[in-house]
Amino acid sequence: MSAAGVTLAYGDRIVAEGLDLEIPAGKVTALVGPNACGKSTALRALARLLKPRTGAVLLDGRDAGDFSPREFAQRLALLPQTPVAPDGITVRDLVARGRTPYQRWWRQWSSADEKFVDQALEATGVDALAERRIDELSGGQRQRVWIAMALAQDTPVLLLDEPTTYLDLAFQVDVLELVADLGRVGGRTVVMVIHELNHACRYADHLIAMRSGRVMASGAPTDVVTPELVESVFGLRSVVVECPVAGTPLVVPVGGRRPADAMA
């Protein structure tokens, strides 16, 4: 998946101009950068929720706009930042909605659909919660259920917009370990917007750092995360050391933050 020379805007406000993104297949990619740098807007463009003014988003070598809505939903699933579930819906019923792109008037619910739902529940560790109502679950459990719904959609590409928002540290690690497994074990192409740079370094295979609607660096975290990059992207002086647990870059702030101009 890629974006080539895209200009993204909301009305008269240009967020990114001439933006190029290359998403490696079968890996977990993290989009990082300061608030309002354009990373969530870029994810919306990849998900076909925002049409580029110029350029194109490509999926499987085709312009994403050329797919029918059903075709596109069979290739790409999106978990938005603040998904909302209908009142009273159970975990199984919500996960089953991931099978909607495969339903036809002549082909209703099948044993294959049931299998994908069961596999998604098991893969995300929420199978024991299948008959519980969503509103009875903790934040971390709910996030796993939403990811299960995206898995039931059975797409090769999965986009996640800030999947750890509002979760405490333990739940953040729990969800990110699940996301990493989806890419590294499941073979899916995963793209997530994430604020915590150290989490991105630890759980992503590929990192794209953005500022003011531009890509400042991209590549493996060990190759691109340096004190110079952290200062240029986040306006923060830091020391980058090796994480004693994962061996990935660990950013340690030393203070002295300088203002960083950023675009929405």
3-class secondary structure per residue, the chain: CEEEEEEEEECCEEEEEEEEEECCCCCEEEEECCCCCCHHHHHHHHCCCCCCCEEEEEECCEEHHHCCHHHHHCCEEEECCCCCCCCCCEHHHHHHHHHHHHCCCCCCCCHHHHHHHHHHHHHCCCHHHCCCEHHHCCHHHHHHHHHHHHHHCCCCEEEEECCCCCCCHHHHHHHHHHHHHHHHCCCCEEEEECCCHHHHHHHCCEEEEEECCEEEEEECHHHHCCHHHHHHHHCCEEEEEECCCCCCEEEEEEECCCCCCCCC
Instruction: List per-residue pLDDT tens for the chain, 264 residues long.
Output: 999 999 999 999 999 999 999 999 999 999 999 998 999 999 999 999 999 999 999 999 999 999 999 999 999 999 988 888 888 999 999 999 999 998 876 667 788 899 999 999 998 999 999 999 999 998 889 999 999 999 999 999 999 999 888 788 888 898 899 889 888 777 899 999 999 999 999 999 999 999 999 999 999 999 999 999 999 999 999 999 999 999 999 999 997 655 554 443
pTM: 0.89
